[in-house]
Structure 1
């Protein structure tokens, strides 16, 4: 195969993407998906999209981006979500009442 063949395949896949996906794609995303379809020699672009979602999820978990977003939005981490409880609940730190430092030494 040559560069011209690859270019032809990418262009062919690119033109077929509107028929295969119910998702709006910008030009850059469409071109990248067409390139991947040509390189991996698949007509099933939905499989490539599924792989992409899995890769994005995995890289978000590994880089800490998912935890950052979860902590920012929900004040939990992914591990806490999977466990069904927060770290404070796991370690028992939330079962003790908060100390009132202002009244601690009053008599």
Structure 2
């Protein structure tokens, strides 16, 4: 797969997710969520889910784990995804097709 496949898969996943997502909780997750809700003083579990996703995403980027998975599946890295060009395209080995839609600021 390629950088273009990744872009298509990200767009499809975002469309499929929509604005809401239902999650089934096991007992451990429910208890952890309840403790976090109490600790952070929020009655909105959605806020904690958003924080959790942001935290997980940031950790995966910082540790390079996301690059490992992207390289395995799409033969590209997160930096290549952000720039919209592969390393080969950046170094002039290939000619890129301009696409500013995938530029994302972390």
For the aligned pair, the TM-score class normalised by the smaller chain equals 0.5 to 0.7
Partners of 2:50 and 2:32 in 1: how far apart? 15
Partners of 1:27 and 1:75 in 2: how far apart? 38
1:57-104 deviations in whole A, cap 9, x for unaligned? 000000001111100010000000011110011001347xxxxxxxxx
User: Aligned runs of 1:1-107 on 2, under 5 Å?
Assistant: 22-94=22-94
Tell me the TM-score normalized by structure 2.
0.66
1:14-52 deviations in whole A, cap 9, x for unaligned? xxxxxxx83101111111111100111110110000000
- RMSD in angstroms over aligned alpha carbons? 1.5
Partners of 1:86 and 1:76 in 2: how far apart? 7
Secondary structure of 1:93's match? Answer: coil
**Count of residues in correspondence between the two structures:** 75
Partners of 1:76 and 1:22 in 2: how far apart? 30
Which one scores higher on RCO, CA 8 angstroms, separation ≥ 6?
A: 2
* Stretches of 4+ aligned residues off by more than 3 angstroms: none
